[in-house]
Amino acid sequence: MKNYVLVFVAILALSFNSCTSMKDTSKTADLYNTTWELEYISGPRIAFEGLFPDKKPFIKFDEATKQVSGNAGCNGYSAPFTLKGKSLTFGEQGPATLMYCEGGGEQVFTKTIKNIDSYSIDKDGKLNLIMKDIPMMRFKKVTK
């Protein structure tokens, strides 16, 4: 009987630990006053470094203007965003000076970000931009 109780407690402890490690620690305020640098993008069969050989994309959320700005890997990026709870959508990108960009990552970035419908910030502080419950882009905090 003692062994059954011990096994039950061990299983309960493991399941509690796994649930807390997957817990989303996101707060809306965590999005702002931070520069987020892209470290993963889903979709292309090209290595991340091949998509962005010169510069990694980054974004910043401006709470007051409801605009996101940054760099899409080569050219500047700016677009309005709408945030309601965990729901996050991006509007059309504003005008930009377009330079030729090696790797094709900029097109992948701008196409992917248009399809985002929500976000999360994981326990490691990484920003995940999600489309239909699938993380499509992952960003880390950087100082810029």
Per-residue pLDDT reduced to its tens digit, 77-94 = 999 999 999 999 999 887
Tell me the pLDDT tens digit for each residue of 87-117: 999 998 876 657 777 778 888 999 999 999 9
Beta bridge partners of 68: 61, 79
What is the reported pTM? 0.76
| pLDDT score at 26 | 47
What is the rounded CA–CA span in Å between residue 28 and residue 98? 32
| pLDDT score at 43 | 80
The answer on pLDDT for 19 being more than 90 is no
The SS3 of residue 70 is strand
What is the rounded CA–CA span in Å between residue 132 and residue 135? 8
Confidence band, pLDDT 50/70/90 cuts, at residue 143:
confident
Residue with the two structure tokens 């399809």: 115
What is the rounded CA–CA span in Å between residue 106 and residue 74? 7
The secondary structure of 80-126 as a DSSP string is EEEEETTEEEE------PPPP-GGGHHHHHHHHHHT--EEEE-TTS-
What is the rounded CA–CA span in Å between residue 102 and residue 109? 13
- From residue 58, alpha-carbon distances to 36, 78, 109, 137 in Å are 5, 11, 10, 11
| pLDDT score at 7 | 42
What is the rounded CA–CA span in Å between residue 77 and residue 62? 13
| pLDDT score at 99 | 73
